[in-house]
Chains A and B, each alone.
Chain A
């Protein structure tokens, strides 16, 4: 029965493919997101750009806020729990949230262990920078993976790096003879059975969305053309000058990611995008993607 529940959760996540999941901090934001064609919303007290700016410990949002958002929209609502904070996850499950994001954007509660997601009935999404991280989260029970990127920067460079890394490692694995898979699995920290499955499929066995730094329609389409199954947009929408227009444009660019004319139309006259941060000169301790293992 546990396996059956996991398969249903993986299949539920498949139904999000091609969609855009938007960070929202108020009921009004959630309505704007749904109206613009978001496939789901991530309910938060602060978007990553503000978490980054304000510092301090970032925790699970107040369930009262999450519930208010859940009652406002008909699309699924996701919420974040801290890495390793299984009680935050229990609370989110008790309120019947649609998905839990065990997220590096919040301050980790455990610096050694992630949540045992097989112990939960509802689906989890987790971030990953490379194939090994993705595989370990799947083995822990994640029904969906996303790139980590560097949240709250409006800079897509890290999401690109993470997706290219995963693609490159999958191509390497897919080309290996059977006797070399065990060593590849060992070096990359991939459970062996999962390594065999990924090798056969030539991709992750669950959906893999882009996240972290997506700020423009072109960013969203870039990640889709790199092979992502859909897109998370955090600060990029509600930190821009015209959130409704930008939300619609990113939705359009995600659906028509291979059509330059549609991308051109989607990119025009959107006003100011969120201010971006340079990641290359960012001190290691300010980087969120390094959280998790």
Chain B
């Protein structure tokens, strides 16, 4: 398999993979599903998507990808975890064992409660976009502590919803489930990729909640 230099990988074991591939294509970045360790080669960044965090942690361990991601990170791979992905990247998981522990934050899994507490809203993340962004929280965790080397990108009520350190981005919401491309562009910049700057909420008028289906195997 030939490595695509400058591509962004999406961990493709379980969860919202196609949704991220759709957003990456909309900003003109090559997205690549990653199922095997060898597929990490040459990537500028890796997105660990939303899904079930317990399940993803088990799959990463059983399939031997945990060590591969840690090694790739040590060699310079940038990481972005959305929702479950943020839980897997956190150094501390309140009341539970942490998993990769690569970014110095504490998360509280399912801090909002059940699916009845999932919601859509809009909020301003000044470092990411000039206009308020549409946000989708689905059984989201809360970031309840950030370490010294970590910057909050979006704070809401009593928690941090998006944060970053030098090489890792975490969002507890799902930008890939909204028309906004701002966070994908932000991560691409973080990975050193050459994409146009987002100057507003960066909404794609062509996006619909079903846009992911064009990446599903049978569409």
The answer to whether A binds B is yes
- Whether A18 pairs with B118 at a CB distance below 8 angstroms is no
B174-A11 in contact (CB<8A): yes
> Which residue in chain B gives the minimum CB-CB distance to A40?
B52
Which A residues lie within 8 Å of B83 (CB)?
15
A148 at the interface (CB under 8 A from B): no
Query: Which of A47-55, A104-112, A249-257 makes up part of the contact surface?
Result: A249-257
Residues of chain A lying within 8 A (CB to CB) of residue B139: 12
Range of interface residues on chain A? 35 or more
Per-residue 0/1 for A229-271: is the Cβ within 8 Å of any B Cβ (1 yes, 0 no)?
1000000000000000000100110011001000000000000
Q: Which residues in window 87-104 of A have CB below 8 A to B? A: 96, 98
Within the complex, the shortest CB–CB distance from B52 to chain A, in Å, comes to 5
Which of A12, A197, A225 interacts with B118 by CB under 8 Å? Answer: A12
**What is the total number of residues of chain B having a CB less than 8 Å from a CB of chain A?**
42
Is B32 in contact with chain A by the CB < 8 A criterion?
no
A37-B55, A205-B210 known; A11 vs B216 contact (CB < 8 Å): no
Do residues B120 and A35 form an inter-chain contact, with CB atoms below 8 A?
A: no
Q: Which of A96, A203, A251 meets B219, CB within 8 Å? A: A203
Q: When A15-B138, A98-B115 are in contact, do A201 and B219 touch as well, CB less than 8 Å? A: yes
Give the complex CA separation of A34 and B50 in angstroms: 17
The CA of A201 and the CA of B84, in the complex, are separated in Å by 27
For the complex formed, measure the closest distance between the CB of A224 and the CB atoms of chain B, giving whole angstroms: 8
Within 8 A of A (CB), among B51-84: 51-55, 58-59, 62-63, 83-84
Closest to A93 in B: B116
Known: A9-B115, A201-B210, A227-B217. A17 touches B55 (CB 8 A): no
Name A203's closest neighbour in chain B (CB-CB): B219
B13, B58, B209, B213: the one contacting A18 at CB < 8 Å is: B13
A122-B115, A248-B62 as given contacts; A255 in contact with B54, CB under 8 Å: no
Q: Does B109 contact A (CB under 8 A)?
A: yes
Residue of B nearest to A259 (CB): B35
Q: Which residues of B contact A255 (CB under 8 A)?
A: 13-14, 35, 59, 63
Interface residue? B7 (CB, 8 A): no
Q: Does B114 contact A (CB under 8 A)?
A: yes
How far is it, in angstroms, between the C-alpha of A121 and the C-alpha of B17 when the chains are bound?
Answer: 26
With a 10 A CB-CB cut-off, give which of A15, A167, A248 has the most chain B CB atoms: A15
For B154-175 the 0/1 string (1 means CB < 8 A from A) is 0000000000000000000010
Instruction: Give residues of chain B (168-219) contacting chain A, Cβ–Cβ below 8 Å.
Output: 174, 177, 209-210, 212-213, 216-219
CB neighbours of B19 from chain A (8 A):
14
Q: Which residues of A contact B212 (CB under 8 A)?
A: 14
11 contacts between A and B (CB under 8 A): A7-B209, A8-B138, A10-B209, A15-B50, A17-B17, A17-B51, A18-B13, A34-B55, A38-B55, A74-B109, A226-B218
